[in-house]
Amino acid sequence: MKKTTQFRNLLSSNKLEFIMEAHNGLSAKIVEEAGFKGIWGSGLSISAALGVRDNNEASWTQVLDVLEFMTDATSIPILLDGDTGYGNFNNMRRLVQKLEQRDVAAVCIEDKLFPKTNSFIGGESQPLADVAEFCGKIKAAKDTQLDPDFSVVARLEAFIAGWGLDEALRRADAYHEAGADAILCHSKKADSSDIDAFMKEWGDRCPVVIVPTKYYSTPTDHFRSQGISMAIWANHNMRAAIKVMQDTTKRIYEEESLINIEGNVVSVAEVFRIQGADELKDAEKKYLPTTGKKVNNIILAASQGNLGELTKDSPKTLVEVNGKSLLSTQIDEYNQVGIKDITVVRGFGKEKVKMNNIKTIDNDDYAETKELYSLNLAKDEIKENTIISYGDIIFKKYVLNELLNDNNDITMIVDADSKKSDGTKDLVKASKKYNKKNFIGTAKFKKMDSNLDKKVCGEFIGLWKVNSTGAEIVKTALTKLSESKNFKKMTCTDLFNEIAKENTIAVKYISGAWLDVDTLVDLQEAGKLRI
């Protein structure tokens, strides 16, 4: 049921209904968990939570930001304490638009002047709004709403400002005629005499809402007997929180210890529960391809590169693109999908390749060897689910997810847009080419070379994955190739061609969305690629 309809049903209920104050997403969740059917978005409490006075010092857009968290966190309706509507009729119209956009069910506006002052601070000296002007705000709100169940509650401040019953009734009747869905009759007396007198004359012309903050000792059954539609517990979550925070903070400060506090506060696990940590775990299982798998990563980054002054003293993997090194960019991408076990094979300038969140293996023969030699040094890190990448590439996020979601023994990423041979590219021939209209799934790797005929299907981007079976296949091939006299000069091209003699390598196509940095022109283009 829509939240607006839920709230409208509360107003029209034939019994006394209750809503409870909340001032942020956490307190809103607590209110719903307690069993309340609705939430009072208290202006006083929201202001206090923001550390400002209840005098419209928090802008209406800041209040909306808080409300958005509250309504997103809950499934029950919110009645916003909208003060005076934050301005004139035009401000009121825009407020209603924005509230409906955020799924806020209702707004309560009070007949005082902007900027407002809290009703319990010198209430009798606070001037009331002109009746006709306030009725205009109500009409503007009702004319603006798109949802017929959105509710506008007119808050009557006549008793607060020291006026009598006649003025209260005059104003309430005008607001009702202007289209208000309910009247909130406010009083600061310690008993319910103002409310009793109003209800005796008002009858059941429209629902009446009360805020028994000051006359809290009045039995709830008395409100039922008076025909009240709704009672608001207006600020008690905030007031309770302040008390507990004051006591807790003071004690920790004085004792310089948590020993006497821990038993009096909720566990961190309870905080996680309210935040919905369990739901996130379930979602991770559904959406994150690494969840439930032990996935690790090997980055081959031993080479110096040839980018002039940029790689004179530092390896190419540390060249920065948009303020972040190629290596850091890759590591961040892996971390974001849950891959934290990362091994970097370093060589040139190895002392500069050091980060807290990686393991390193040193290829001290980097000047005499190619990437296959580096991979062989990291052979023990090729495990049940291993991503292997070159240290000089960057790629868009979805490319990594495409690879992680693949279940073949060995899978390589191939850019179908790159097919022109220039003597340096790792060109790939596969069982079928990529076709945007009808290509589904993967192709079977046939051959890799820097010079291929017209049957070339794309370029290997330097990113591939193995599962447990694929890991054993790769290790076996590495062992065999390492016995060759020219092993130090071999590349991954030799490895893939060797594996393809007896085993299948899957080719997963992409279209662009990556770059390897071999030249200064590449570096400029990399800055334009949004990762």
Looking at the fold, whether 364 and 461 belong to one and the same domain comes out as: yes
Mean pLDDT of the chain: 91
Q: State the pTM of this model.
A: 0.65
Which is higher by pLDDT, 317 or 434?
317
Per-residue pLDDT for 96 more than 80?
A: yes
Domain hosting 260: range is 244-275
Q: What is the pLDDT of residues 229-267, one digit of tens each?
A: 999 999 999 999 999 999 999 999 999 999 999 999 999
Question: 225 and 351, same structural domain?
Answer: no
Question: By C-alpha distance, which of 301, 297, 296, 298 is closest to 516?
Answer: 301
Eight-state DSSP code of residue 58 = S
**Which residues lie closer than 8 Å to 229 by C-beta, 6 or more apart?**
10, 11, 12, 13, 16, 17, 182, 207, 208, 209
Same domain, 215 and 250: no
pLDDT in tens, 463-479: 999 999 999 999 999 99
Residues 103 and 221 in one domain: yes
456 and 423, same domain (yes or no): yes
Are residues 179 and 52 located together in one domain of the fold? yes
Q: Does 520 map to a domain?
A: yes
166, with CB counted inside 10 A (0-12, 13-18, 19+), is exposed
Q: Show which of 234, 260, 286 is a domain's final residue.
A: 234
State the pLDDT at residue 440: 58
Question: 389 lies in a domain?
Answer: yes
Residue 72 shares a structural domain with residue 147: yes
Residue 287 has pLDDT above 80, yes or no: no
Q: Which residue has the higher pLDDT, 383 or 285?
A: 383
Cβ–Cβ under 8 Å, residues 321 and 394:
yes
More confident residue, 122 or 346: 346
Q: Is 209 helix (H, G, I), strand (E, B) or coil?
A: strand
CA distance 353 to 326: 12
Q: What's the average model confidence in pLDDT over 409-431?
A: 85
**Residue 115 domain-assigned (yes or no):** yes
331 and 203 together in one domain: no
Check residue 113 and report its DSSP letter: P
Q: Has residue 239 been placed in a domain?
A: no
How confident is the model over 201-209, as a mean pLDDT?
Answer: 94
Q: Of 54, 81, 494, 516, which residue is the catalytic one? A: 54
The answer to whether residue 404 scores a pLDDT higher than 90 is no
pLDDT tens digits for range 20-49: 999 999 999 999 999 999 999 999 999 999
Give me the percent of the chain exceeding a pLDDT of 70: 92
- 220 and 97 in one domain? yes
Evaluate whether residue 159 is within a structural domain.
yes
Same domain, 390 and 256: no
Domains identified in the chain, total number: 3
CATH number at residue 486: 3.90.550.10
Residue 447 maps to a domain: yes
Asked, as a colleague might, if the bond just before 77 is cis with ω within 30 of 0, I would say no
CATH number of 206's domain: 3.20.20.60
Statement to judge: residues 481 and 371 lie in one domain: yes
Q: Would 391 be classed as within a structural domain? A: yes
Percent of the chain with pLDDT over 90: 72
Does the annotation mark 247 as catalytic? no
Confidence bin at 355 (pLDDT 50/70/90):
confident
Question: What is the chain's length?
Answer: 531
